[in-house]
Amino acid sequence: MSETATVAVVPGDGIGHEVVPAALEVLDAVADIEFVHAEAGDAVAEQRGTPLPEGTLEAVSEADATLFGATGETSADVILPLRDAVDSFVNVRPARTYPGVDAVQPETDLVILRENTEGVYAGVENRLTEDVSTLTRLVTQSASRRLAEFACDYVESNGHDGFTVAHKNNVMRVTDGLFVDTVREEAAARGVDVDEAYMDAMATHLAMDPAGYDVIVCPNLAGDVLSDLAAGLVGGLGLLPSANIGSERGIFEPVHGCAPDIAGEGIANPSATILSAAMLLEFLGADGAARDVRAAVEATLADGPRTPDLGGTATTDAVAEAVVDRLPE
């Protein structure tokens, strides 16, 4: 990070207002960043008549990167347009286990590369009659190719053997047919190995033997669902970060939502958001700071205070302080 970066900060709803300040404490301790605070979500919709005020869209569009918290009922009107605003074509969702944290599948160490612009999340839904509603599943060759190019770059630069593409082209013959054909073609052109799996069968294999997967490339909805499944394997949604990567900008957010059941209690696990902040630092070129933050989170999970989702009684703030205490001097 050569000069002071500008980072938009959008807590969103619910526990977003607890985990984002926790991550800011950590970012403040490791980097010189100018924060621009903005609001979005259900509460804003009630107060201002729109869940995504113009100023927020502008702040995210202009910042070098954004730290986002969580969305609630207005998810489709908040996070989807924000991803569009930064031209985010892929959502990177790593899932791994941590020493000291109970995991259903301790061998899990994988990353999901989720298509981030289309599929059933393209927003083409209609209510035709009282009885009938429809949804158009959009799949383009250009978005599939862009994802595949990113996946090839990702496996090459991170030393992976190849990737597995998840799809359902036996049922969605045209849309997933185009998706998987394009991904296959791009990987072949780049000399990258590709395995294939039907996404439903992959869910079973993931639950039973996640060590069989390393990098997973998949359509939008499949990525959303499979990453929540992966969270369940490693100890819960409080541990999964994500990066919405665009050509020049990115939005970094925990995989979890706004958790209305615990919002306001100050006990949400901030690890996923702090790990998202580490991905943000890496995106901005601050690789050393990103490594320090990851190591401090790992050390805290190993022997530090824990929030109730991990069997402890600590508060969000106590975990954030423990992470800051474990950063190098």
Scan residues 188-227 and list those touching ligand GGG (CB under 6 A): 224
Judged by CB under 6 A, the residue of 56, 66, 71, 117 near ligand GGG is 71
168 catalytic per annotation: yes
Residue pair 115/218 in contact by the 8 Å Cβ criterion: yes
Q: How far is residue 28's CA from residue 4's CA, in Å, rounded to a whole number?
A: 12
Residue 106 Cβ vs ligand GGG, minimum distance, rounded to whole Å: 25
Residue pair 207/225 in contact by the 8 Å Cβ criterion: no
Q: Is 257 in the site for ligand GGG (CB under 6 A)?
A: yes
Q: How far is residue 257's CA from residue 238's CA, in Å, rounded to a whole number?
A: 10
Judged by CB under 6 A, the residue of 10, 20, 38, 79 near ligand GGG is 79
Residue 109 Cβ vs ligand GGG, minimum distance, rounded to whole Å: 22
Q: Where are the beta strands (DSSP E) in 76-184?
A: 90-96, 109-115, 125-127, 133-135, 162-167
Cα distance between the two ends of the chain: 19
Residue pair 151/164 in contact by the 8 Å Cβ criterion: no
Residue pair 119/253 in contact by the 8 Å Cβ criterion: no
Q: Is 70 in the site for ligand GGG (CB under 6 A)?
A: yes
Q: Which is nearer to ligand GGG, 115 or 176 (CB)?
A: 115
Q: Is 75 in the site for ligand GGG (CB under 6 A)?
A: yes
Contacts for 130 with CB less than 8 Å, ≥ 6 apart: none
77 catalytic per annotation: no
13 catalytic per annotation: no
121 catalytic per annotation: yes
Phi first, then psi, for residue 233 (nearest 5°) are: -75, -30
Catalytic residue among 102, 153, 200, 287: 200
200 catalytic per annotation: yes
Amino acid (one-letter) located at 220: N
Catalytic residue among 98, 121, 154, 213: 121
Q: How far is residue 156's CA from residue 237's CA, in Å, rounded to a whole number?
A: 28
Which one of the spans 54-62, 252-260, 291-299, 306-314 is the region binding ligand GGG (CB under 6 A)?
252-260
Catalytic residue among 168, 176, 213, 309: 168
Which one of the spans 229-237, 254-262, 291-299, 312-320 is the region binding ligand GGG (CB under 6 A)?
254-262
Active site residues: 121, 168, 200, 224, 228
The residues binding ligand GGG (CB under 6 A) are 70-71, 75, 79, 224, 253-254, 256-257
